[in-house]
Amino acid sequence: MSRLGTRTTIGLLSLALASGALAQQATNPPGATKPVDITRLTIAIVVVIVAIAAIWLYGRRTTLLKDNLLPQIAPERQPYSLGRWQMAFWFVIIFDSFVAIYIARDDFNSLNPQALWLMGISAASGVSAVVVDVLKDSPADAANRGLKALGLQNYDDVERTRAEIAQREALLKTVPPPANAPQLAVEISDRELLLAAYERVIRPFVSQGWYKDLTTDTNGAALHRVQTLVWTIALGVVFIATVIANLTTGVATHLIMPQFDTSLLLLLGISNAGYIGFKYPEPQQ
Amino acid sequence: MPALEGIEHVIVLMLENRSFDCMLGKLYPSDPSFEGLRGGENNVWLNQPVPVWSSTNTPLDSTSACIPDPDPGESFTDMTMQLFGQPPAPTATMAGFVQNYMAQTPMPASSRAPMHYFTPEQVPVISTLAKSFGVCDQWYASAPCQTWPNRFFTHTGTSQGFVNNDQFPIPFPAPSIFGLLSAAGRSWRVYFHDVPQSILLRDVWLRAPLHYRFFSTFLSDAINGTLPNYSFIEPHYFTDLFLNRIPNDQHPPHNVLYGEQLIAAVYNAVRNSPVWKKSLLVITYDEHGGCFDHMPPPAAVSPGGPLPQGFAFDRYGVRVPAVIVSPYMPPGSRVRAMPTGVPSPAAPHPFDHTSIIKTLRLLFNLGGPLTNRDAAAPDLLGPLSLIDPQNDGPATVTPVPATPTIAQLETRAAASPNGMQSALSQMAAQLPPQPLPPGAALPPPSAMVAPAQATVARAHLNAVSQVRAFLGL
């Protein structure tokens, strides 16, 4: 291993060691492979970074990581969803680990049952969160019904209304003014009222930024959300650190991803169950 | 009159479009002096009698509670037909309700709807209060016209000759009871749910942000004992999908059970207020809204002033419910100002909405009348005959539980607005875009020009947005 490789992994390696998870992995079992080729490792790191960046950028601009409770809100203004984000978080980590290991080791037999459990727990949480959103009649549902009754079914209708205002304003600027100018003015006023009401209605439901979206509801900070987020990130960091540490040593491919014991998986499950349980009565942001 | 000394707070709750017979016609079925329904009243349609009737569902289901559905006609022309029939009789016969109802386009499925009435068990709140305090079976709408003329009569004693909602100049220039109260240093507030119709009064435009409050404030003012001298309460006129609220004005075809809930909320708040012993609560309706009543409206004193549409306002509208609640009111009172039977055209006159003005003028020394009509109106102080405020009535009244379903809310929001809702939406477009500063010059009245909105949801949005901007809310 080069000096550069050693420096980049030493911090995360320490964290993983501290968690105890790596201790289980540090012992090379029989059949350990040779240390990784630095070129392949570099390629793997680049691919992982590109994949993370792609998911993050795509998630910001679309509803990939968002709640989408009000289809009338532009995708980039939709609030982040804790359930979806958690699903994406584990997907990215495990997928990137898989890809990185494959590139570094030229071996795709890296997935273990614990990784699948992590994806399963997060997927179950994500699905449960969506089910709760569908089942409960939240303020967002009332806003959605109200906006639909006003003719705003989705964000396309908002953009169409804006275009109609611009079109009429352009007509009013013509010289001489059109004969139906008073009617056009009324129609503009009508649509401006609609958009003003739209902005007022959606205000509580637009994104306040990633961290606030994930940790608050309309009542403010929510402990069950913070707890889920913290445990998810903590286990994620341990997972990444373990993979990096093991990848740079001679651990066998099928043991590179951490093998969280039952207690840790149970911990994440309980945390997510708490989130879902509290989500039902919580006012939706 | 002991009440003249004891009453310091007058509260008026004015609901929408129900006749006396529709809501209280069966209140005292065995009392021959009570001008209620006997059961044989009818109209004729296609040579067949259409008698008064009531659904048998108690408590009311969501269909029965909305009868008549669709909404009967309520324009001046409609009401003339309801009262005089077609061809018109020389005097009001009350024989044209079904005729007028079935003349609508599209023709309603049932000719019986306008002849429907509610039993006391179906509307327990208003019935209980009527029996526990006083019910007036001689309270007529001030004019055989729509909502706005009658509500303007309530506030100003005139509609200045206008007979329909959509023809009024905005702001309405007649001096109002609110102006008299302000001039006399008396406190007043209008408590509203979504859009206060009274905001059209020129008298209130400079003062509106100081005096208009949401209904929730009424409840807290009552509990805190801080009610003003005069409180006027306006119901929820529109469906609000954003707040999951449905109209509680009882305007057909709105479910009467939500109006019952509103009446109960008002009564329970007043009854349990520190100022209960000094209070007078009047629960009434602006007009009959095409619902049958068997008593022909008598002649009335014309308020005077211009008659731009040819009607002199020299007869009353159809009878409407009026329940008078006060600890000074003997329980079980039948409140009347003249002998029973068909009233004569001369004094004494029956009660109408201007009796509220008359009562307030006397109670708070507000000076002379606003118009000839309120000058002639009987006041409510005489019937408040107990020496001491000892009739506490029920500690609370409990309405029938009812909650609108999402489907009901969506149906109402997608419906075409009724005449009142359309007019409120048009009116709102005339409001200044922000509160008028003190001392500002009031604009001259102008005709309403904004187009009516296609659905209740759009009409609501238009009206609420502009009213809130004007009130600075």
My answer on whether A100 and A216 are in the same domain is: yes
Q: What is the pLDDT of residues A114-123, one digit of tens each?
A: 888 888 888 8
- The whole-number average pLDDT for the span A39-47 is 84
Q: What is the pLDDT of residues A246-263, one digit of tens each?
A: 887 878 888 899 988 888
In CATH, the architecture of B2-42+123-376 is 3-Layer(aba) Sandwich (3.40)
User: How far does CA B330 lie from the centroid of its chain?
Assistant: 24
Domain annotation covers residue A164: yes
Segments making up each domain of chain B, as ranges: 2-42+123-376
Q: How many CB pairs under 8 A join A and B?
A: 42
The answer to whether the CB atoms of B241 and A151 lie below 8 A apart is: no
My answer on whether A107 and A48 are in the same domain is: yes
Number of domains into which chain A is organized: 2
Q: Residue A95 — φ and ψ, nearest 5°?
A: -65, -45
pLDDT at res. A281: 61
Q: Is the peptide bond before B171 cis (omega within 30 degrees of 0)?
A: yes
User: How far does CA A226 lie from the centroid of its chain?
Assistant: 15
The answer to whether the CB atoms of B242 and A196 lie below 8 A apart is: no
Q: How far apart are CA B136 and CA B203, in angstroms?
A: 30
Could you give the percent of chain B with pLDDT greater than 90? 82
My answer on whether A133 and A230 are in the same domain is: yes
Reported in sequence order, the residue ranges of B156-295 that DSSP labels E, i.e. its strands, are 169-170, 188-192, 212-214, 230-233, 279-285
Asked if B351 and B282 touch (Cβ cutoff 8 Å), the reply is no
- With 0-12 / 13-18 / 19 or more C-beta atoms within 10 angstroms meaning exposed / middle / buried, residue B451 is middle
Nearest CA distance, A207 vs chain B (angstrom):
20
> Beta-carbon neighbour count of residue B424 at 10 Å?
28
The answer to whether the CB atoms of B242 and A193 lie below 8 A apart is: no
Could you give the percent of chain B with pLDDT greater than 70? 97
pLDDT at res. B345: 64
- The whole-number average pLDDT for the span A133-155 is 87
Q: How far apart are CA B187 and CA B319, in angstroms?
A: 30
Q: What is the pLDDT of residues A191-215, one digit of tens each?
A: 988 998 899 899 989 999 999 999 9
Nearest CA distance, A202 vs chain B (angstrom):
11
Amino acid at B121: E
**Which of B243, B451, B461 lies nearest to residue A150, judging by beta carbons?**
B461
The answer to whether the CB atoms of B241 and A142 lie below 8 A apart is: yes
Q: How far apart are CA B312 and CA B320, in angstroms?
A: 21
My answer on whether A13 and A82 are in the same domain is: yes
From chain B, the residues in CB contact with A150 under 8 A are: 457-458, 461
> Beta-carbon neighbour count of residue B183 at 10 Å?
12
- Token duo for residue A40: 């392949």
The answer to whether the CB atoms of A137 and B406 lie below 8 A apart is: yes
My answer on whether A14 and A90 are in the same domain is: yes
Amino acid at A189: S
Flag whether pLDDT at B30 surpasses 80: yes
My answer on whether A105 and A89 are in the same domain is: yes
What's the pLDDT band for A283 if we cut at 50, 70, 90?
Answer: low
What's the pLDDT band for A19 if we cut at 50, 70, 90?
Answer: very low
Lowest-confidence segment of B6-20, B147-161, B427-441 by average pLDDT: B427-441
Q: How many residues does chain B have?
A: 473
Domain annotation covers residue A81: yes
My answer on whether A29 and A126 are in the same domain is: yes
Positive or negative, the CA dihedral A140, A145, A149, A151 is: positive
The answer to whether the CB atoms of A145 and B406 lie below 8 A apart is: yes
Flag whether pLDDT at A32 surpasses 70: no
My answer on whether A149 and A99 are in the same domain is: no
Per the prediction, chain B carries an average pLDDT of 94
Flag whether pLDDT at A47 surpasses 90: no
Give strand pairing partners of B43: B50
The answer to whether the CB atoms of B457 and A146 lie below 8 A apart is: yes
My answer on whether A132 and A150 are in the same domain is: no
Q: How far apart are CA B188 and CA B216, in angstroms?
A: 16
Q: How far apart are CA B116 and CA B72, in angstroms?
A: 12
The answer to whether the CB atoms of A142 and B465 lie below 8 A apart is: no
Domain coverage including residue A150:
144-202
Nearest CA distance, A166 vs chain B (angstrom):
20
Report helix, strand or coil for A233.
Answer: helix
pLDDT at res. A21: 41
pLDDT at res. A182: 85
Domain annotation covers residue A103: yes
Nearest CA distance, A135 vs chain B (angstrom):
13
My answer on whether A156 and A128 are in the same domain is: no
**Which of A142, A194, A197 lies nearest to residue B244, judging by beta carbons?**
A142
My answer on whether A42 and A178 are in the same domain is: no
- Token duo for residue B184: 């006399």
My answer on whether A221 and A189 are in the same domain is: no
Report helix, strand or coil for A262.
Answer: helix
From chain B, the residues in CB contact with A151 under 8 A are: 458
Domain annotation covers residue A284: no
Domain annotation covers residue A7: yes
Nearest CA distance, B414 vs chain A (angstrom):
6
Residue of A nearest to B468 (CA): A197
